[in-house]
């Protein structure tokens, strides 16, 4: 489609307009390359139209224009023009690569959704596409800039979409793309996406708020003018130069503050905001002093983001003052360069072509974050887990902390000492056992606050605790803990699977260790495993049944050589049950329905993905399990087990004052702890107590029962087994 064919769309941004814009900062040859990409894209999208009826090529051109306003390089502009050809046409990546080079092809591929794979749900597809885009962004940050420009134009034109799709896209924008823009410091784009998202998701609320802002703006003019005049007069008196700008609060920030803090519109809109742009950092601090002399500062509301920049590289001085008539005044003070970076973030690298320290800080912080994204990807089990972890990382309401050497670490608000340990280094996190916060020894779950000095105490043999997942805040900590636990479960599963297969083989053949590699290889090939440990892990997790795998081992030439009598003799061998010691970890668990303890007759049930669940052989639930006899595993207790197990007791006691305290004391004296207790009054005279307590074995439980029977208040006592 040529430019001449688009004359019927007068509001459309034409390729000639794009080229004119690009000529202001690109060479003639580079502009010609962009035009060549346009011709390719127009031909590929020929016949395709947007919901509004416009030719589809209007969208890629609009995306390219957004990037051109950021003064992006010509490869990015070409990729923007071509960004939908892989996804929406029959064009393949290799075609783009041969025509426009590998760099452009990689950028286009990075923003293209995965269309050739079927997913179980829309959520899974969205997560996998997000994962693909983020990994492409790690390789080249321009991928996300193109995607953000694409989303911005889609949000600007979202009005033609049906309501349900409009809400879904707006929700995704506010949950993913707005935090991404914020994380990259692209404030101007973030604010527009927020306001567009609010209007699409809650059109009535947005309209009411907009009308309220217009009405309130007129009543505020006199106060704003008076404050602005006072600020300029004070700057002149102090011989300070600075541009004073009144800041208008955006609809989404008003809406969010009203919602989160349960404030009325007037309470939010009564804050008067100003920005003062100065020439250098020294002037910024002098202006701050002048403002604190002009109006009294609100205690605790001053923030120095120049000395300690935000995670996205943002730098500014923030203060809140008591203004005339008692109105609060928010003031931001920053240099011109800081203001450029604050508005454009990582895009300022292309927009201003400056080597200023602020830009370098933004790039350095972005690279550090992208490195963390790569770490999260490596330890995430699937796309859903990956997107969950990255979302945690995208909402950094920060706290600023110090290491004992005085280095600054920035973590999300609510982060704990474990998060701090992982932020220092993964190995520090994996081996931490305690922490000192401002020289005081405190628990690892202690939330951290700005200004604290944190020292992590480690131990060489220490390992991550699964309970940490209940309180860690950062994606890096969460993904590393989960990764360790998965590996631990894998190791335990391999060990248990080896025991189970060895036991199954001993019934009909020989132990696993006596099999040679060439005898094992055909079995692995049949089950499609590369290594024996992968097969053993699946047996341990209950995904493969040991007896069936054992049969595969003997279905070869050796089996045919065995005489019938010898096989019969082997089958009649006494089979030793699998010994349970209670320390097998996550691949052996104990049923909560019957709480088996050492001394009980027990039986195991292989459960897919969970390993073996141990029940007492009298458990009522085993009736259902016995229908699947191939999953039942003969087990027994290993002698000399030294750990606590849970057991359930039911007591009928007389309603007397202090009876619970006496029973609890008796249990404690018998070296046991009460884990849970439930009470129900029966007839006004007697109360039933269901107590879950810790015991070492049946003998220990018997001693506790005998001790409780000596209490005259106890009329009946029995162990519950389901």
Residue that the structure tokens 């349960």 belong to: 262
Give the helix, strand, coil percentages of the chain, each rounded to 5.
55, 15, 30
Token pair recorded at residue 560:
């045919």
H-helix segments, 140-276: 142-156, 163-172, 178-183, 187-201, 203-237, 251-261, 265-269
Half-sphere exposure for 215 (CA within 13 Å, toward CB): 8
* Cα-based distances in Å from 543 to 184, 527, 530: 44, 12, 16
- Decide the pairing of beta strands 674-681 and 635-637: unpaired
Q: Which residues contact 590 (CB under 8 A, 6 or more apart)?
A: 582, 596, 613, 614, 645, 646
User: Which residues, in sequence order, are bridge partners of residue 690?
Assistant: 650, 678
User: Token pair for residue 38?
Assistant: 């346009």
Active site residues: 87-88
H or E element that contains 489:
helix 475-508
Report which DSSP code applies to 484: H
Asked whether the beta carbons of 520 and 552 are under 8 A apart, the reply is no
For 715, the token pair is: 């009329």
CA–CA dist 185, 314 (Å, integer): 7
Residue 81 to residue 72: CA distance in whole angstroms: 13
Residue 108 class from Cβ within 10 Å (0-12 exposed, 13-18 middle, 19+ buried)? buried
Least Cα distance to 51 among 151, 157, 150 occurs for: 157
Look at residue 264 and give its three-state secondary structure.
coil
Q: Is 351 helix (H, G, I), strand (E, B) or coil?
A: helix
| Tokens (6 digits) for 451 | 């200004």
Asked if 502 and 510 count as a contact pair (C-beta separation under 8 A), the reply is no
Nearest Cα neighbor of 187 from 317, 59, 362 is: 362
């Amino acid at each position: 489609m040529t430019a001449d064919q688009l004359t019927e769309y007068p509001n459309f941004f034409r390729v000639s307009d794009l080229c004119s814009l690009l000529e202001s900062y690109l060479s003639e040859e580079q502009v010609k390359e962009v035009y060549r990409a346009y011709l390719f894209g127009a031909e590929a999208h020929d016949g395709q139209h947007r919901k509004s009826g416009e030719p589809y090529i209007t969208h890629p051109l609009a995306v390219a224009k957004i990037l051109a306003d950021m003064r992006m390089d010509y490869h990015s502009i070409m990729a923007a023009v071509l960004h939908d050809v892989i996804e929406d046409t029959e064009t393949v990546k290799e075609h783009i690569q041969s025509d426009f080079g590998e760099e452009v092809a990689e950028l286009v591929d990075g923003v293209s959704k995965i269309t050739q794979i079927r997913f179980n749900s829309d959520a899974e597809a969205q997560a996998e596409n997000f994962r693909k885009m983020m990994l492409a962004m790690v390789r080249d940050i321009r991928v996300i800039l193109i995607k953000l420009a694409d989303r911005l134009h889609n949000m600007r034109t979202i009005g033609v979409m049906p309501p349900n799709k409009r809400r879904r896209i707006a929700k995704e924008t506010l949950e993913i793309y707005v935090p991404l823009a914020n994380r990259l410091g692209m404030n101007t784009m973030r604010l527009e996406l927020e306001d567009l998202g609010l209007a699409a998701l809650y059109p009535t609320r947005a309209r009411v708020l907009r009308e309220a802002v217009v009405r309130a703006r007129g009543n505020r003019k006199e106060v704003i003018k008076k404050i602005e005049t006072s600020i300029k007069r004070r700057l002149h008196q102090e011989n300070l130069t600075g541009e004073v700008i009144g800041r208008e609060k955006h609809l989404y920030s008003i809406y969010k503050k009203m919602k989160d803090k349960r404030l009325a519109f007037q309470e939010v809109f009564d804050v008067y905001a100003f920005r003062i742009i100065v020439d250098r950092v020294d002037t910024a601090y002098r202006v701050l002093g002048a403002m604190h002399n002009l109006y009294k500062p609100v205690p605790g509301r001053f923030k120095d983001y120049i000395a300690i920049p935000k995670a996205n590289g943002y730098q500014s001085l923030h203060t809140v003052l008591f203004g005339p008539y008692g109105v609060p005044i928010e003031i931001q003070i920053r240099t011109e360069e800081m203001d450029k970076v604050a508005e454009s973030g990582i895009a300022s690298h292309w927009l201003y072509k400056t080597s200023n320290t602020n830009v370098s800080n933004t790039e350095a912080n972005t690279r550090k974050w992208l490195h963390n994204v790569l770490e999260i990807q490596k330890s995430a089990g699937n796309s859903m887990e990956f997107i969950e972890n990255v979302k945690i990382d995208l909402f950094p309401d920060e706290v600023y902390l110090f290491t004992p050497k005085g280095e600054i670490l920035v973590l999300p608000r609510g982060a704990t000492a474990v998060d701090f340990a992982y932020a220092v280094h993964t190995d520090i996190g994996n081996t931490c056992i305690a922490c000192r916060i401002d020289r005081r020894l405190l628990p690892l779950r202690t939330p951290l606050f700005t200004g604290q000095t944190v020292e992590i105490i480690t131990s060489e043999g220490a390992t991550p605790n699964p309970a940490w997942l209940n309180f860690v805040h950062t994606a890096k900590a969460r993904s590393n803990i989960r990764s360790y636990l998965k590996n631990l479960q894998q190791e335990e599963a391999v060990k248990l699977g080896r025991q189970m297969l060895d036991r199954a083989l001993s019934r009909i053949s020989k132990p696993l260790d006596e099999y040679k590699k060439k005898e094992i290889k055909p079995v692995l090939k049949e089950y499609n495993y590369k290594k024996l440990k992968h097969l053993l892990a699946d047996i341990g997790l209950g995904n493969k049944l040991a007896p069936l795998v054992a049969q595969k081992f003997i279905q070869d030439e050796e089996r045919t050589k065995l005489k019938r009598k010898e096989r019969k003799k082997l089958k009649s061998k006494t089979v030793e049950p699998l010994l349970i010691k209670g320390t097998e970890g996550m691949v052996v668990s104990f049923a909560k329905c019957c709480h088996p303890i050492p001394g009980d007759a027990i039986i195991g049930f292989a459960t897919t993905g969970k390993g073996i669940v141990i029940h007492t052989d009298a458990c009522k639930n085993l009736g259902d399990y016995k229908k699947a006899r191939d999953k039942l595993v003969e087990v027994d207790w290993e002698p000399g087990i030294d750990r606590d197990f849970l057991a359930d007791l039911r007591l009928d006691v007389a309603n007397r004052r202090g009876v619970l305290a006496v029973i609890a004391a008796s249990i404690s004296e018998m070296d046991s702890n009460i884990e849970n207790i439930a009470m129900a009054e029966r007839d006004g005279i007697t109360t039933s107590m269901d107590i879950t307590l810790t015991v070492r074995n049946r003998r220990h439980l018997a001693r506790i029962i005998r001790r409780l029977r000596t209490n005259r208040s106890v009329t009946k006592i029995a162990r519950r087994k389901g």
